[in-house]
C-alpha cells in the first residue's frame, strides 16, 4: 500500500545576516515550526506583527504524533484562515467507546447538541496539520520561516534576547524584542537557560504505532482496559485519513524499550489485536514514557515558553498538543497589543497567570488517567476494576472511569484580565470562558457562524440593542438581531435562537470578547464607561474591584 503523504523538503535560503548585512532587531522570533510555533506565528502575523520562525529541520514531522485535534483547536485554526483543508481532510469523531476485557462498558457522545461549526474532535496526522499551517503562512508577507536554522545559544537581556543560529551556510546571530520557544520537549532554548521541570516522571510506557490497512471500523475512539489480545494491559485505536490507524499499546514496566520498537516485535502484537489474517503495513513506531510536569514559570523576561517546551502530559486525553495551541492563542494577541502600543508590557505577565493554571489542570487530569490506567497497587487495581464492572449499568461509576479526560477549552476564571459580573445572568458564559459557537445569518443573509463574526478583534456583542453605545476605540461592535428578524448591515441574526440560549442574552445585554475569543466581561445593560473600563482591564491597563 503506497504511502499517501509525501514529506516535502523546504528549501534552505541563506539569511541576509550571513551576507554581511547588519542583523536588524526583530519584534518576535519563534523557535520551532511545529503545531504550536506555526499557530503562534500565524496569529502574530495576522495581527500585523512581523515574525520569523526558526526550525532546525526542513520538512514536516514524521509519524502521526498529535492526531486528536479538539473543537477548540479547530476553531482557532479556522480563525487563522486555515480551517478549510482541515475540514476537507480530517476524520471527524464525536463518539468514544470503552471496553473492559471482552465486553463494551459504555459509549459517550462528546457533542450531543446541534449548532456547532466544528466537531468535538477531528483526527489528522501531525504532518498534515503542519503542512496546512505552513501553506497558510506562505500567504502572509510578514511571516518568514527559516528552515535548517538551528538555535545553538541564547543571550537574554532586560530589553530583548539574542539567539545564536547555525545553518548549512554558517552561523549568525539574531536579536528580537521577544522570543517564544516552541521547540518541544527537548527545547534548546530551555536547556540554554538551564530551566528545570517540576512534576512527575512515570515508569509506564506505551508503544505507539501507525499502520495502513483497509478496515471498516467506525470513526470513533476505542479504548480497552485489559483486552484479551494484549496481556491484560491497555490499548487504544483511532482512525486517521488515508487508511491509517493509530494503535497505542501499554507495555509491561520491565519491557526492553529497544526490543519493543523493532518491527518484528510490533507485528505480532498487532496481529493479536486484529487477527493473524489481517493485512496491514507498519508506517511508524514510537515509544512514549509518561511525563506530567512543567516549568515553574512560562515567562522569563523577554522569552516565553509554549507547548511541550513549557509543559508535558501523557498523550491520553489529547491535552498536550491542544493545550499548546491554546498557549499560542493566549500569547499572540498580547504580544501584538504590547508591540503595537495598545497595552503596557505588564499585560504579558497574564500569560503565566492564565496558562499555568490551564497547564496544571491538564497535568492533574493526565496524572489521574495515568494512575487509573496503570494501577500501582493491588488495592487501586481492585477499585479500578470495580468501577469498570459497575460502569456498564450505573452512571455514577462512569464518572470514576478515566481513560484520559479529553481536552477542553481552558476556563480563565481567575484571570486578572476579567471584569467581574455586576449583573446577575441566568446562565450564559461568565468571564474567562471561551466563546461557544452558534449558527447565525450574516448581514447578506448567508449562513455563517458566531465565531467567524467575532474574528480576532476586541468585540462588543450587543443583543437586540435598544441604544447605541457609540464608538469605542479598539473595539468592534456587532449587533445581534433575534431569531426571525431580517438581516441588516453591520448585524448578524441569531438564526435558530441558540446564541440567545447559550449566552443567556436578554434585550440590551452585551458581551465583550477578547481577540482570543474568551469572554472578558458581560453586562445586562452595558454602557460606554463600562465597556471602556472592561477593555482597559483586559489590556492590563486597569483593575476593577
Per-residue pLDDT of 290-332, as tens digits, reads: 888 999 999 999 999 999 999 998 877 788 899 999 999 999 9
260: domain CATH number?
A: 3.30.9.10
Confidence of residue 544 (pLDDT cuts 50, 70, 90): very low
Q: What is the pLDDT of residue 314?
A: 82
Q: Which of 96-100, 254-258, 466-470 has the highest mean pLDDT?
A: 96-100
Q: Are residues 342 and 307 in the same domain?
A: yes
Average pLDDT over residues 196-224: 90
CA distance 378 to 374: 11
CA distance 347 to 264: 54
Q: Are residues 131 and 251 in the same domain?
A: no
Domain end call among 272, 290, 308: 290
- Domain assignment present for 305: yes
pLDDT at 545 over 60: no
Confidence of residue 2 (pLDDT cuts 50, 70, 90): low
Q: Yes or no: say if 443 and 487 are a contact pair by the CB < 8 Å rule.
A: yes
Q: In whole numbers, what is the pLDDT of the chain averaged over residues?
A: 93
500: domain CATH number?
A: 3.40.30.10
Q: Are residues 84 and 218 in the same domain?
A: no
| Contacting residues for 9 by C-beta, under 8 A, at least 6 apart | 58, 59
40-98, pLDDT tens digit by residue? Answer: 999 999 999 999 999 999 999 998 899 999 999 999 999 999 999 999 999 999 999 99
CB burial class (10 A; 0-12, 13-18, 19+) of residue 58?
middle
Q: What is the pLDDT of residue 434?
A: 98
Cell numbers 502572509 label which residue? Answer: 140
Q: Are residues 236 and 325 in the same domain?
A: no
pLDDT at 533 over 60: yes
pTM: 0.96
Residue-range definition of the domain harbouring residue 257: 200-290
Q: Which residues, listed in sequence order, are joined to residue 53 by a DSSP beta bridge?
A: 30, 145
pLDDT at 192 over 80: yes
Query: What SS3 class is residue 190?
Result: helix
Q: What is the pLDDT of residue 253?
A: 72
Q: What is the pLDDT of residue 22?
A: 62
Where are the extended beta strands (E) located within 229-334? 234-239, 244-251, 281-295, 299-300, 303-305, 311-312
Average pLDDT over residues 259-278: 93
**SS3 of the chain: helix, strand, coil, percent, to 5:** 30, 30, 40
Domain end call among 336, 358, 380: 358
- Domain assignment present for 409: no
Q: Is the dihedral of CA 65, 180, 534, 468 positive or negative?
A: negative
Q: Are residues 152 and 281 in the same domain?
A: no
Backbone phi, psi, residue 206, to 5°: -125, 135
- Domain assignment present for 105: no
Q: Which residues, listed in sequence order, are joined to residue 51 by a DSSP beta bridge?
A: 28, 143
Q: Are residues 280 and 316 in the same domain?
A: no
Length of the chain: 545
Q: Are residues 48 and 138 in the same domain?
A: yes
Contacts of 449-452 with CB under 8 Å at 24 or more apart are: 449/117, 450/492, 450/499, 451/75, 451/78, 451/79, 451/117, 451/517, 452/78, 452/79, 452/117
CA distance 335 to 133: 20
- Domain assignment present for 431: no
Which of 173-187, 285-299, 429-443 is predicted least confidently?
285-299
DSSP string, 438-452: -EEE-TTS-EEEHHH
Confidence of residue 254 (pLDDT cuts 50, 70, 90): confident
Of 166, 125, 527, the C-alpha closest to 286 is: 125
Q: What is the pLDDT of residue 231?
A: 81
- Domain assignment present for 534: yes
Average pLDDT over residues 280-285: 95
7-48, pLDDT tens digit by residue? Answer: 999 999 999 999 876 668 999 999 999 999 999 999 999 999
Average pLDDT over residues 215-219: 92
CA dist list (Å): 541 to 79, 316, 449: 26, 39, 31
pLDDT at 468 over 90: no
Q: Is the dihedral of CA 432, 437, 438, 443 positive or negative?
A: positive
- Domain assignment present for 375: no
Helix and strand numbers, DSSP H then E, in the chain = 14, 26
- Domain assignment present for 307: yes
Q: What is the pLDDT of residue 1?
A: 53
Q: Are residues 338 and 459 in the same domain?
A: no
Q: What is the pLDDT of residue 436?
A: 97
Q: Are residues 160 and 257 in the same domain?
A: no
- Domain assignment present for 388: no
Backbone phi, psi, residue 260, to 5°: -65, -30
Q: Are residues 485 and 339 in the same domain?
A: no
Q: What is the dihedral of CA 504, 509, 512, 517, to 10 degrees?
A: 30
Query: What SS3 class is residue 543?
Result: coil
Domain count within the chain: 3
Domain end call among 358, 383, 407: 358
Q: Which residues, listed in sequence order, are joined to residue 461 by a DSSP beta bridge?
A: 478, 511
CA distance 402 to 409: 19
Of 12, 133, 8, 9, the C-alpha closest to 66 is: 133
CB atoms within 10 A of CB 262: 11
174: domain CATH number?
A: 3.50.50.60
Residues of the chain above pLDDT 90, percent: 80
Q: Are residues 232 and 260 in the same domain?
A: yes
pLDDT at 222 over 50: yes
Q: Are residues 530 and 460 in the same domain?
A: yes
Amino acid at each position: 500500500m503506497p504511502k499517501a503523504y509525501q514529506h516535502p523538503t523546504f528549501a534552505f535560503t541563506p539569511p541576509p545576516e550571513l551576507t554581511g548585512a547588519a542583523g536588524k532587531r526583530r519584534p518576535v522570533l519563534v523557535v520551532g515550526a511545529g503545531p504550536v510555533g506555526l499557530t503562534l506565528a500565524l496569529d502574530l502575523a495576522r495581527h500585523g506583527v512581523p515574525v520569523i520562525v526558526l526550525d532546525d529541520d526542513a520538512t514536516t514531522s514524521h509519524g502521526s504524533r498529535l492526531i486528536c485535534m479538539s473543537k477548540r483547536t479547530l476553531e482557532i485554526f479556522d480563525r487563522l484562515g486555515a480551517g478549510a483543508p482541515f475540514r476537507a481532510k480530517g476524520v471527524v469523531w464525536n463518539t468514544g467507546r470503552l471496553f473492559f476485557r471482552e465486553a463494551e462498558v459504555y459509549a459517550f457522545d462528546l457533542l450531543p447538541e446541534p449548532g456547532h461549526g466544528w466537531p468535538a474532535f477531528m483526527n489528522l496526522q501531525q504532518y498534515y496539520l503542519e503542512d496546512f499551517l505552513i501553506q497558510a503562512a506562505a500567504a502572509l508577507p510578514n511571516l518568514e520561516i527559516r528552515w535548517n536554522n538551528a538555535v545553538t545559544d541564547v543571550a537574554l537581556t532586560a530589553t530583548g534576547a539574542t539567539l545564536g543560529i547555525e545553518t548549512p551556510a554558517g552561523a549568525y546571530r539574531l536579536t528580537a524584542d521577544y522570543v517564544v520557544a516552541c521547540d518541544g520537549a527537548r527545547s534548546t532554548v530551555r536547556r540554554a537557560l538551564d530551566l528545570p521541570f517540576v512534576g512527575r516522571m512515570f515508569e509506564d510506557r506505551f508503544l505507539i504505532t501507525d499502520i495502513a490497512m483497509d478496515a471498516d471500523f467506525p470513526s470513533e475512539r476505542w479504548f480497552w482496559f485489559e483486552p484479551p489480545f494484549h496481556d491484560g494491559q491497555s490499548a487504544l485505536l483511532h482512525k486517521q485519513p488515508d487508511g491509517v490507524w493509530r494503535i497505542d499499546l501499554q507495555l509491561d514496566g520491565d519491557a526492553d524499550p529497544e526490543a519493543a520498537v523493532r518491527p518484528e516485535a510490533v507485528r505480532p502484537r498487532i496481529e493479536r489485536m486484529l487477527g493473524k489474517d489481517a493485512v496491514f503495513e507498519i508506517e511508524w513506531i514510537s515509544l512514549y514514557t509518561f511525563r506530567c510536569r512543567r516549568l515553574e514559570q512560562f515567562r522569563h523576561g523577554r522569552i516565553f515558553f509554549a507547548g511541550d517546551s513549557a509543559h508535558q502530559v501523557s498523550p491520553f486525553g489529547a491535552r498536550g498538543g491542544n493545550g499548546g495551541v491554546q498557549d499560542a492563542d493566549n500569547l499572540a494577541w498580547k504580544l501584538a497589543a504590547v508591540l503595537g502600543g495598545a497595552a503596557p508590557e505588564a499585560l504579558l505577565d497574564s500569560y503565566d497567570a492564565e496558562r499555568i493554571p490551564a497547564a496544571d489542570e491538564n497535568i492533574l487530569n493526565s496524572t489521574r488517567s495515568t494512575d487509573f490506567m496503570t494501577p500501582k497497587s493491588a488495592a487501586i487495581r481492585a477499585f479500578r476494576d470495580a468501577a469498570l464492572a459497575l460502569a456498564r449499568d450505573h452512571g455514577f461509576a462512569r464518572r470514576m472511569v478515566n481513560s484520559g479526560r479529553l481536552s477542553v477549552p481552558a476556563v480563565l476564571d481567575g484571570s486578572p484580565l476579567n471584569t467581574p459580573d455586576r449583573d446577575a445572568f441566568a446562565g450564559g458564559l461568565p468571564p474567562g470562558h471561551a466563546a461557544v459557537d452558534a449558527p447565525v445569518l450574516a448581514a447578506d443573509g448567508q449562513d455563517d457562524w458566531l465565531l467567524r463574526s467575532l474574528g480576532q478583534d476586541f468585540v462588543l456583542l450587543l443583543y437586540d440593542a435598544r441604544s447605541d453605545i457609540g464608538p469605542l476605540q479598539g473595539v468592534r461592535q456587532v449587533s445581534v438581531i433575534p431569531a426571525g428578524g431580517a438581516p441588516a448591515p453591520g448585524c448578524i441574526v441569531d438564526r435558530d435562537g441558540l446564541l440567545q440560549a447559550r449566552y443567556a442574552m436578554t434585550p440590551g445585554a452585551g458581551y465583550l470578547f477578547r481577540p482570543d475569543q474568551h469572554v472578558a466581561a458581560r453586562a445586562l445593560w452595558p454602557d460606554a464607561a463600562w465597556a471602556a473600563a472592561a477593555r482597559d482591564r483586559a489590556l492590563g491597563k486597569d483593575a476593577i474591584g
